[in-house]
Protein backbone atom coordinates (compact mmCIF):
# COMPACT_ATOMS: atom_id res chain seq x y z
CA UNK A 1 0.00 0.00 0.00
CA UNK A 2 1.29 3.43 -0.96
CA UNK A 3 2.21 5.63 2.00
CA UNK A 4 2.97 9.33 1.71
CA UNK A 5 4.95 11.15 4.40
CA UNK A 6 5.45 14.88 4.71
CA UNK A 7 8.17 16.64 6.67
CA UNK A 8 8.04 18.92 8.57
CA UNK A 9 4.55 18.71 10.04
CA UNK A 10 4.63 22.44 10.75
CA UNK A 11 6.86 25.29 9.70
CA UNK A 12 6.95 28.94 10.73
CA UNK A 13 9.06 31.40 8.75
CA UNK A 14 9.43 35.17 8.44
CA UNK A 15 8.08 36.87 5.36
CA UNK A 16 10.43 36.86 2.39
CA UNK A 17 12.18 33.62 3.25
CA UNK A 18 12.59 30.83 0.70
CA UNK A 19 11.46 27.46 1.97
CA UNK A 20 11.25 23.78 1.04
CA UNK A 21 8.54 21.29 1.93
CA UNK A 22 9.36 17.61 1.67
CA UNK A 23 7.28 14.64 0.62
CA UNK A 24 8.28 10.97 0.40
CA UNK A 25 6.35 7.98 -0.90
CA UNK A 26 6.97 4.28 -0.41
CA UNK A 27 6.00 2.90 -3.82
CA UNK A 28 7.85 4.38 -6.79
CA UNK A 29 5.18 3.07 -9.18
CA UNK A 30 3.22 6.28 -9.01
CA UNK A 31 1.40 7.72 -11.98
CA UNK A 32 1.62 11.40 -11.08
CA UNK A 33 2.36 13.48 -7.99
CA UNK A 34 0.31 16.47 -7.01
CA UNK A 35 0.67 19.30 -4.49
CA UNK A 36 -2.41 20.90 -2.96
CA UNK A 37 -3.06 23.83 -0.69
CA UNK A 38 -5.75 23.68 2.00
CA UNK A 39 -7.02 26.80 3.75
CA UNK A 40 -9.08 26.52 6.96
CA UNK A 41 -12.74 25.92 6.20
CA UNK A 42 -12.08 25.60 2.50
CA UNK A 43 -11.48 22.77 0.12
CA UNK A 44 -8.24 21.77 -1.50
CA UNK A 45 -6.75 23.76 -4.32
CA UNK A 46 -4.40 22.06 -6.77
CA UNK A 47 -1.07 23.87 -7.03
CA UNK A 48 1.13 21.71 -9.23
CA UNK A 49 0.91 18.31 -10.88
CA UNK A 50 4.08 16.51 -11.92
CA UNK A 51 3.65 13.66 -14.35
CA UNK A 52 5.75 10.58 -13.72
CA UNK A 53 7.86 11.30 -16.80
CA UNK A 54 8.68 14.81 -15.60
CA UNK A 55 11.17 15.95 -13.00
CA UNK A 56 9.71 19.31 -12.08
CA UNK A 57 6.93 21.83 -12.58
CA UNK A 58 6.87 25.55 -11.93
CA UNK A 59 4.08 28.02 -11.31
CA UNK A 60 5.00 31.53 -10.28
CA UNK A 61 6.91 31.37 -7.01
CA UNK A 62 6.30 27.64 -6.66
CA UNK A 63 8.52 24.89 -7.97
CA UNK A 64 7.90 21.21 -7.39
CA UNK A 65 10.37 18.45 -8.17
CA UNK A 66 9.92 14.70 -8.42
CA UNK A 67 12.52 11.94 -8.02
CA UNK A 68 10.69 8.65 -8.47
CA UNK A 69 13.76 6.50 -7.91
CA UNK A 70 14.28 7.89 -4.42
CA UNK A 71 10.57 8.26 -3.70
CA UNK A 72 10.77 11.97 -3.01
CA UNK A 73 9.19 15.24 -4.03
CA UNK A 74 9.87 18.75 -2.84
CA UNK A 75 7.86 21.94 -3.04
CA UNK A 76 9.97 25.08 -3.12
CA UNK A 77 8.31 28.40 -2.28
CA UNK A 78 10.30 31.51 -3.11
CA UNK A 79 9.98 34.84 -1.32
CA UNK A 80 7.23 33.63 1.00
CA UNK A 81 4.31 35.91 1.83
CA UNK A 82 1.76 35.89 4.67
CA UNK A 83 -0.86 34.85 2.13
CA UNK A 84 1.06 31.61 1.62
CA UNK A 85 0.05 30.52 5.12
CA UNK A 86 -1.93 27.30 4.73
CA UNK A 87 -1.58 23.53 4.92
CA UNK A 88 0.27 22.03 1.98
CA UNK A 89 -0.62 18.48 1.02
CA UNK A 90 1.32 16.13 -1.18
CA UNK A 91 -0.59 13.36 -2.94
CA UNK A 92 0.50 10.47 -5.13
CA UNK A 93 -1.66 9.13 -7.91
CA UNK A 94 -1.56 5.33 -7.96
CA UNK A 95 -3.48 2.88 -10.07
CA UNK A 96 -3.53 0.65 -13.10
CA UNK A 97 -6.00 2.40 -15.33
CA UNK A 98 -9.73 2.64 -15.87
CA UNK A 99 -11.48 3.70 -12.68
CA UNK A 100 -8.70 2.33 -10.56
CA UNK A 101 -6.73 5.55 -10.02
CA UNK A 102 -6.69 6.98 -6.51
CA UNK A 103 -5.05 9.87 -4.75
CA UNK A 104 -3.08 8.95 -1.64
CA UNK A 105 -2.41 11.98 0.53
CA UNK A 106 0.21 12.83 3.12
CA UNK A 107 -0.78 14.43 6.40
CA UNK A 108 0.34 17.86 5.23
CA UNK A 109 2.70 20.60 6.34
CA UNK A 110 1.15 23.56 8.18
CA UNK A 111 2.98 26.65 6.97
CA UNK A 112 2.84 29.98 8.79
CA UNK A 113 4.49 33.01 7.21
CA UNK A 114 4.90 35.82 9.70
CA UNK A 115 4.82 39.44 8.50
CA UNK B 1 -22.53 26.96 -9.99
CA UNK B 2 -19.16 28.50 -9.54
CA UNK B 3 -17.71 25.56 -7.67
CA UNK B 4 -18.43 22.42 -5.69
CA UNK B 5 -20.76 23.05 -2.79
CA UNK B 6 -21.47 20.89 0.22
CA UNK B 7 -24.13 20.99 2.88
CA UNK B 8 -24.41 21.18 5.74
CA UNK B 9 -21.06 22.78 6.49
CA UNK B 10 -21.20 21.56 10.07
CA UNK B 11 -23.11 18.69 11.59
CA UNK B 12 -23.27 17.55 15.19
CA UNK B 13 -24.80 14.14 15.73
CA UNK B 14 -25.37 11.98 18.74
CA UNK B 15 -23.81 8.56 18.57
CA UNK B 16 -26.20 6.19 16.87
CA UNK B 17 -27.93 8.80 14.73
CA UNK B 18 -28.03 8.60 10.95
CA UNK B 19 -26.65 11.53 8.95
CA UNK B 20 -26.80 12.57 5.30
CA UNK B 21 -24.20 14.79 3.68
CA UNK B 22 -24.88 16.45 0.35
CA UNK B 23 -22.54 17.35 -2.48
CA UNK B 24 -23.39 19.55 -5.47
CA UNK B 25 -20.64 19.13 -8.07
CA UNK B 26 -19.78 21.61 -10.76
CA UNK B 27 -22.46 21.47 -13.42
CA UNK B 28 -21.57 19.02 -16.18
CA UNK B 29 -18.86 17.23 -14.24
CA UNK B 30 -19.04 13.51 -14.83
CA UNK B 31 -16.76 12.24 -12.08
CA UNK B 32 -17.44 12.68 -8.37
CA UNK B 33 -15.34 11.63 -5.39
CA UNK B 34 -15.82 11.49 -1.63
CA UNK B 35 -12.94 11.71 0.83
CA UNK B 36 -12.74 11.52 4.62
CA UNK B 37 -10.25 13.75 6.44
CA UNK B 38 -9.71 13.05 10.14
CA UNK B 39 -8.17 15.72 12.33
CA UNK B 40 -4.47 16.11 11.58
CA UNK B 41 -4.59 13.67 8.69
CA UNK B 42 -4.68 13.94 4.94
CA UNK B 43 -7.86 13.13 3.03
CA UNK B 44 -8.55 9.45 2.43
CA UNK B 45 -10.49 8.17 -0.59
CA UNK B 46 -13.94 6.79 0.11
CA UNK B 47 -15.76 6.31 -3.18
CA UNK B 48 -15.94 7.34 -6.85
CA UNK B 49 -18.88 7.89 -9.21
CA UNK B 50 -18.94 8.22 -12.95
CA UNK B 51 -22.33 9.79 -13.64
CA UNK B 52 -24.75 7.70 -11.58
CA UNK B 53 -22.55 4.60 -11.51
CA UNK B 54 -20.52 3.95 -8.38
CA UNK B 55 -17.37 2.48 -9.90
CA UNK B 56 -15.25 2.25 -6.77
CA UNK B 57 -16.36 2.04 -3.16
CA UNK B 58 -13.29 0.36 -1.83
CA UNK B 59 -12.54 3.17 0.64
CA UNK B 60 -15.83 3.06 2.52
CA UNK B 61 -14.79 2.04 6.05
CA UNK B 62 -17.83 -0.05 6.91
CA UNK B 63 -21.28 -1.05 5.71
CA UNK B 64 -22.64 1.86 7.74
CA UNK B 65 -21.40 4.15 4.97
CA UNK B 66 -23.47 4.44 1.83
CA UNK B 67 -23.20 6.87 -1.09
CA UNK B 68 -25.47 7.51 -4.03
CA UNK B 69 -25.76 9.75 -7.06
CA UNK B 70 -29.07 8.71 -8.58
CA UNK B 71 -29.33 11.26 -11.39
CA UNK B 72 -25.64 11.69 -12.07
CA UNK B 73 -25.36 15.12 -10.48
CA UNK B 74 -26.00 15.65 -6.75
CA UNK B 75 -24.52 13.03 -4.47
CA UNK B 76 -25.36 12.07 -0.91
CA UNK B 77 -23.10 10.31 1.56
CA UNK B 78 -25.09 8.62 4.28
CA UNK B 79 -23.68 7.33 7.53
CA UNK B 80 -25.90 5.07 9.60
CA UNK B 81 -25.60 4.58 13.35
CA UNK B 82 -22.80 7.12 13.63
CA UNK B 83 -19.84 6.37 15.89
CA UNK B 84 -17.33 8.75 17.46
CA UNK B 85 -14.64 7.55 15.08
CA UNK B 86 -16.75 8.88 12.19
CA UNK B 87 -15.96 12.44 13.33
CA UNK B 88 -14.06 14.02 10.44
CA UNK B 89 -14.34 16.44 7.56
CA UNK B 90 -15.99 14.86 4.55
CA UNK B 91 -14.77 16.33 1.27
CA UNK B 92 -16.41 16.04 -2.10
CA UNK B 93 -14.60 16.64 -5.39
CA UNK B 94 -15.66 16.59 -9.02
CA UNK B 95 -13.86 16.46 -12.33
CA UNK B 96 -15.04 17.03 -15.86
CA UNK B 97 -14.33 13.82 -17.72
CA UNK B 98 -14.94 10.13 -17.46
CA UNK B 99 -11.52 8.88 -16.52
CA UNK B 100 -11.60 10.09 -12.95
CA UNK B 101 -7.89 9.80 -13.10
CA UNK B 102 -4.78 11.92 -12.84
CA UNK B 103 -5.20 13.52 -16.23
CA UNK B 104 -8.04 15.63 -14.87
CA UNK B 105 -8.13 18.33 -12.25
CA UNK B 106 -10.32 17.57 -9.26
CA UNK B 107 -12.20 20.53 -7.82
CA UNK B 108 -12.88 20.22 -4.11
CA UNK B 109 -15.77 21.50 -2.07
CA UNK B 110 -15.29 23.16 1.35
CA UNK B 111 -16.25 19.99 3.18
CA UNK B 112 -18.74 19.04 5.87
CA UNK B 113 -17.32 18.87 9.38
CA UNK B 114 -19.06 16.05 11.25
CA UNK B 115 -18.79 15.77 15.02
CA UNK B 116 -20.27 12.70 16.67
CA UNK B 117 -20.82 13.03 20.41
Q: Taking 60 as the threshold, does the pLDDT of residue B1 lie above it?
A: no
Q: Taking 70 as the threshold, does the pLDDT of residue A99 lie above it?
A: no
Structure confidence at residue A97 (pLDDT): 61
The residue that leads in pLDDT, B114 or A95, is B114
CA angle B28, B29, B33 (to 5 degrees): 150
Interface contact B102-A31, CB threshold 8 A: yes
- Bridge-based pairing state of the strands A44-51 and B75-79: unpaired
Which chain B residues touch A49 with a CB distance below 8 Å? 102, 105
Structure confidence at residue A59 (pLDDT): 95
The rounded percent of chain A whose pLDDT value lies above 70 is 97
Which residues, 6+ apart, have CB-to-CB distance to A42 below 8 Å? B110
pLDDT tens, position by position, A18-71: 999 999 998 878 888 999 999 988 889 999 999 888 899 999 999 999 998 899
Q: Which of A46, A93, A106 sits opposite B42 (nearest CB)?
A: A106
pLDDT tens, position by position, B68-101: 999 999 999 999 999 999 999 999 999 987 776 7
User: Is the distance from CB of B21 to CB of B80 less than 8 angstroms?
Assistant: no
User: Is the distance from CB of B101 to CB of A101 less than 8 angstroms?
Assistant: yes
The rounded percent of chain B whose pLDDT value lies above 90 is 87
Amino acid sequence: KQEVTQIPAALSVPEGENLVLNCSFTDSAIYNLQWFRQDPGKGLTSLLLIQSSQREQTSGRLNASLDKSSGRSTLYIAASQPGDSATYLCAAWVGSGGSNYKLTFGKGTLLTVNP
Amino acid sequence: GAGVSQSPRYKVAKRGQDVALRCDPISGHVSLFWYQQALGQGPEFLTYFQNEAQLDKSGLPSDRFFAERPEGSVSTLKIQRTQQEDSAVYLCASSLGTSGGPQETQYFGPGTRLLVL
